[in-house]
Amino acid sequence: MTKHIAILTSGGDAPGMNACIRAIVIAADRLGYQISGYLRGYNGLLDDQRITLTCERMHNLLQQGGTILHSARCKAFTTEQGLKKAADNLTKSNVDTLFVIGGDGSFRGAHALGQIWEGQIIGLPGTIDNDVAGTDATIGYYTAIETAVSSIDKVRDTADAFDRVFMVEVMGRHAGFLALSAALASASDYVILPERFSNEADTLTQICTQIQQRQAKRGPVSYVIVLAENVWPGGINDLCVRLASQSNMEVKPVILGHVQRGGSPVSQDRLLAVQLGTYAVTLVETSTSGVMVGTYEDKAVTVPLPQTWEDAKPLPDDAVTTMMTLMNERYR
């Protein structure tokens, strides 16, 4: 019998989700599968809001940001009742395989659903935060780095012109991958990361020391600091006020916000999306279920869903060393 596969995108949208949908649809169509797309993440599963996905619809889709299936967060799905409704709807629609493109929260949901629904569940990592263990990178992460870098480059122009301090807040929820990569690639001067944050007083003192050392060498200087969101207890404005008072310099806040989630995916995200989407479809005829597909050293792999949030995903050692040498501990 023809397999019926369904796809949904859940949690924060990420550039490359569409490229991943396209890869799944083309690979699945080639094998003669019926293909549905649930709308607005797990909401579509609860309301049985479903569209048919065809290869024709995939034309010119790979390069588009966002997700044609729409995405959302869905509180109702996290309840026992919600999970049961979703399982019933999948069974009623004769869905054999559900592909969930999202982050670790979406995978927790997929795992919970797998406890009560007998069909096959396969996750694909899509989030700008890269905070999913078991994969080298997540779809959308590389584009978000590019977006943040191009914005920080512009901030640097004004920082230089005015010899000013700028504080740029970058997304990442509770992970520092995006902030660290954006800071390194934009030649920022300091970066505040959740993984390396000790306390407010030490951080302020270290930044002031770095600024003063640089001023001693060069005279008036600009200084660009990247702040990962959710790290500073009082938020970016509190940090700017306190740094201004301690450094005696003007400190301006810039919150990059949701611009980091949008835009056409860069090639690295496109390549990752099509690799993972195509690989995921090869699993449909197997007994593999309750896994995420990711990459390890460029090769597609499968990882049990719980590992994607239970395992630690540390910042890369080399990037941290580079960060200390070129940024946070540059002036001694």
Ligand X SMILES: Nc1ncnc2c1ncn2[C@@H]1O[C@H](COP(=O)(O)OP(=O)(O)O)[C@@H](O)[C@H]1O
Ligand Y SMILES: O=P(O)(O)OC[C@H]1O[C@](O)(COP(=O)(O)O)[C@@H](O)[C@@H]1O
For the chain, the distance separating the N- and C-terminal CA atoms, rounded to the nearest angstrom, is: 69
Size of the site for ligand Y (CB under 6 A): 12
Could you say which of 13, 96, 104, 129 is catalytic?
Answer: 129
Integer Cα distance of 86 and 84 in angstroms:
5
Which residues, 180 to 219, sit near ligand Y by CB under 6 A? Answer: none
The residues of the shown chain that bind ligand X, judged by CB under 6 A, are 10-12, 42, 73-74, 77-78, 102-106, 108-109, 112, 127
* Cα separation values, 141 from 130, 160, 166, 262, 266, Å: 6, 28, 24, 11, 10
Alpha helices in the chain (DSSP H): 17-30, 42-47, 80-92, 104-114, 141-162, 177-185, 200-218, 235-247, 267-282, 305-310, 317-323
User: Residue type for 176, please?
Assistant: G
Residue 1 burial class via C-beta count within 10 angstroms: exposed 0-12, middle 13-18, buried 19 and up: exposed
CB closer to ligand Y out of 58 and 191: 191
CB closer to ligand Y out of 102 and 277: 102
The interface mask with ligand Y, positions 101-140, x = CB under 6 A, is: --x-x---------------------xxx-----------
CB closer to ligand Y out of 149 and 284: 149
Return the residue matching tokens 């197997």: 286
Please tell me whether residue 70 binds ligand Y under the rule CB under 6 A.
no
Please tell me whether residue 65 binds ligand Y under the rule CB under 6 A.
no
Residue 123 binding partner per list ligand Y, ligand X, none, with a CB distance cut-off of 5 to 8 Å that depends on partner kind = none
129 catalytic? Reply is yes
Residue 78 binding partner per list ligand Y, ligand X, none, with a CB distance cut-off of 5 to 8 Å that depends on partner kind = ligand X
Residues designated catalytic: 129
Site residues, ligand Y (CB under 6 A): 11-12, 103, 105, 127-129, 171-173, 229, 261
